Structures are given as structure tokens and as C-alpha cells.
């Protein structure tokens, strides 16, 4: 097989990119893929400081094992601290690196809304709930590491519609407000 690349630097570049995409290939497979001997691949790896497959595997696996939270976050945004069904609820969310804009370390707005919205949905005790509309206002940016306490209160119920008001604070300062209108389809709720 003819080498796919003339010039070592080009091969090195390609090698790094390729391994980024396919971290689990062996030197043997790489050698065949690049039309070059296994010895060369090994040398290249050594020069570029790329560890063997098994270590690459280990890194990826351990990384994945470290933070299963990254996936959990999808469920309910924020931790429910208190809940009085159809009346009020409180949830707490601490801003982590995942949630901020890199440059400014400011939390992306939709995390605040996500916390408020999932809290509002939790407060309403019904089988089927969805968000109808909302009016939201960000009072000041929230930074990495800050702990947001959101309090939701049911303000009004009209037919299949519930108005929930959410105030989110960092310490004593209000950073976010939302009025959320939820649609409800459930007998229990109507009976109340």
C-alpha cells in the first residue's frame, strides 16, 4: 500500500484528527489505514505523546463514569426542596461550568427558565401539564457557582389554565421573575 501522505507533519496532523474521531483503533488498524508500517505509527504516537489504545479507552471510560450527572440534569432542572401541591414549591440550582457562557461566566438564560418551568410543572398536581405561555424577566446576570433558589406560587386557576409565578433569588437578591401559564388536563385538578 502506498502511503496516504507524503511528509511526516501532514501524517501527524491527520493522525491526531483521526484519533479524535476514532479513539479506539489499534496501531495495526492505523498502519493499514495510513498505508504505513506499524513501527512508524508507534514512533508517531511517541512523538505526538498519544498513549496506546488501552489507555485511550481507559480515559474515555473513566470520563464517562465520572459525571453521570450531565445526563440527569435533563430530568428536572434544580433540586426540589419543598412542595405544597397546587400552592407553592421551592427548588435550588447551583450554576456549574456546563451552564455558563465561556467568555463571561454568566449562566445561559434558559437554565433559569428551565428551573422555573420544571418547578412550575411540579407544583401543579395533574396528570397532563404543559406550558402555554410565559413572561420572564432577568434582573441581573447570574454567575458561575451562584446558588439560585426559585420559589413558585400558584396565583390563579381558571378552567384548564393555571397561572404560576416564580421568583428566583441568589441570597436575598431577585435575579429572575417569571409568570408561567400552564395548561392542565386532569379531573383531580378541576375538582379541587
137 binds, among DNA, its own copies, none (CB under 5 to 8 A by kind): its own copies
* Residue 18 exposed, middle or buried by CB count within 10 Å (0-12, 13-18, 19+): middle
Q: Is 138 in the site for its own copies (CB under 8 A)?
A: yes
Residues that bind DNA (CB under 7 A): 3, 8, 11, 26-28, 36-37, 39-40, 42-43, 45-46, 51-54
Q: Is 51 in the site for its own copies (CB under 8 A)?
A: no
Torsion over CA of 117, 122, 123 and 127, rounded to 10 degrees? Answer: 120
Going by C-beta distance under 8 Å and a sequence separation of 6 or more, which residues neighbour residue 81? 90, 91, 92, 149
x/- mask, its own copies, residues 56-75, rule CB under 8 A, reads -xx-xxxxxx----xx-xx-
113 binds, among DNA, its own copies, none (CB under 5 to 8 A by kind): its own copies
CA distance 40 to 38: 5
C-alpha cell at 6: 507524503
Contact 78, 92 (CB under 8 A): yes
Which residues contact its own copies by CB under 8 A?
Answer: 23-24, 54, 57-58, 60-65, 70-71, 73-74, 77, 98-99, 101, 103-104, 106, 108-110, 113-114, 117-118, 121, 127-138, 141
Amino acid at each position: 500500500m502506498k502511503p496516504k501522505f507524503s511528509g511526516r507533519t501532514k501524517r501527524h496532523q491527520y493522525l491526531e484528527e483521526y484519533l479524535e474521531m476514532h479513539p479506539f483503533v489499534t496501531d495495526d488498524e492505523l498502519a493499514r489505514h495510513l498505508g504505513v508500517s506499524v513501527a512508524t505509527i508507534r514512533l508517531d504516537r511517541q512523538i505526538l505523546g498519544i498513549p496506546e489504545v488501552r489507555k485511550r479507552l481507559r480515559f474515555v471510560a473513566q470520563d464517562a463514569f465520572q459525571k453521570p450527572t450531565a445526563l440527569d440534569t435533563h430530568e428536572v432542572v434544580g433540586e426540589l426542596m419543598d412542595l405544597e401541591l397546587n400552592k407553592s414549591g421551592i427548588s435550588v440550582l447551583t450554576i456549574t461550568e456546563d451552564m455558563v457562557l465561556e467568555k463571561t461566566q454568566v449562566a445561559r438564560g434558559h437554565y433559569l427558565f428551565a428551573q422555573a418551568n420544571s418547578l412550575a410543572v411540579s407544583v401543579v398536581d395533574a396528570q397532563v401539564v404543559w406550558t402555554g405561555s410565559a413572561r420572564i424577566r432577568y434582573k441581573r446576570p447570574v454567575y458561575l457557582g451562584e446558588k439560585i433558589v426559585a420559589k413558585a406560587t400558584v396565583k390563579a386557576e381558571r378552567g384548564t389554565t393555571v397561572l404560576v409565578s416564580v421568583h428566583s433569588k441568589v441570597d436575598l437578591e431577585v435575579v429572575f421573575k417569571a409568570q408561567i401559564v400552564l395548561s392542565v388536563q386532569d379531573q383531580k385538578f378541576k375538582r379541587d
